[in-house]
Amino acid sequence: MIIDIHGHYTTAPAALGAWRDLQIAGLKDPSKAPKASELKISDDDIRETIETNQLKLMKQRGSDLTIFSPRASFMAHHIGDFETSSTWAAICNELCFRVSQLFPEHFIPAAMLPQSPGVDPATCIPELVKCVEQYGNVAINLNPDPSGGHWTSPPLYDRHWYPIYEKMAEYDIPAMVHVSTSCNACFHTTGAHYINADTTAIMQLIQGDLFKDFPTLKFIVPHGGGAAPYHWGRYRGLAQELKKPLLADHLLKNVFFDTCVYHQPGIDLLTKVIPVDNILFASEMIGAVRGIDPETGFNYDDTRRYIEASTLLSPEQKQQIYEGNARRVYPRLDQALKAKGL
């Protein structure tokens, strides 16, 4: 199988965005606030948006299964309060669950959390539990910066986050570290804020000793780990100065990188620097970069082409990236596939 671990419902029916606009308007004028029950999206609406977009491209590009979560830029945890985020997360998670029910061979859900700046992460637990126990979610997305580019939350190694980590350990689910929209004009959402957050997460995890408390915890740092692989010597050196163990022991038993890197030299560097055991196939399509690369004639986010073209990876290593690592890092995914005889 070829498993894409990083997919978002970026093509959700227009009614979802219209409902969200009303929810945001309702923050200033409560008379405009919609009820969740007023959002009407039919199964046919979902089928149309998936069959003509994600599923069409999956078939064209040769991937089999996508771990599917709500649109990252739509999470926007900085908007409103916890109740705002709670209602919004529940709606978005239910939609991804419905996608997985309508297309069970091709999609399996991962949850966004109802995070809100300054709010105890323990408030996210009920939604997390529901998504795992009722929806069969195999992972969560964890936003290390719910403030939207102002970084008001403690670092990831802080006990502030432990309520979520405890549930992750209990359910044996990984978290993809994924920020949302930037509301700081200095940081373009997908070009700067995302990559900054990936890099920041790596450094935070190096600074702390989180995995001493949670030895089974697993994080996926998307977009190829941001700048971290390119500067791996810097991080090895900083860990050494901080009197931390070698990164192979301090980080790489628990931290993994995806292949959302949109050119061949980037993938080649990733596979040279990061052990194959720590790389998982992903495309994030249809996502941040949707255009065609004039140098290749193919879409930037057609990441399978880069893996296939690699002269550094053996066929066995490519299959490890495509499937083997995902089944190891996402145990509930592996269980779901085995239940289907796969």
Active site amino acids: 284
* Structure tokens belonging to residue 269: 């560097």
Burial letters 218-229, b for 16+ CB under 10 A, else e: bbbbbbbbbbbb
Rounded distance between C-alpha atoms, residue 261 and residue 284, angstroms: 10
Q: How many CA atoms lie within 13 A of 335 on its CB side?
A: 10
Alpha-carbon distance of 334 to 138, in angstroms, equals: 9
Q: What string of DSSP letters covers 243-306?
A: TPPPHHHHTTTTEEEE----SHHHHHHHHHHS-GGGEE-----SSS--SB-TTTSSBTT-THHH
Asked if 68 contacts 9 with a C-beta cutoff of 8 angstroms, the reply is yes
- Helices and strands (H and E) in the chain: how many: 16, 9
Tokens 């719910």, residue?
Answer: 146
Residues 162-191 as b/e (b if ≥16 CB within 10 A, e otherwise) read bbbbebbbebebbbbbbbbbbebeebebbe
**φ, ψ for residue 86, nearest 5 deg:** -65, -45
Scanning the structure block, which residue is given the tokens 């109740």? 83
Hey, what are 90's tokens? 């529940």
Q: How far apart are CA 337 and CA 342, in angstroms?
A: 5
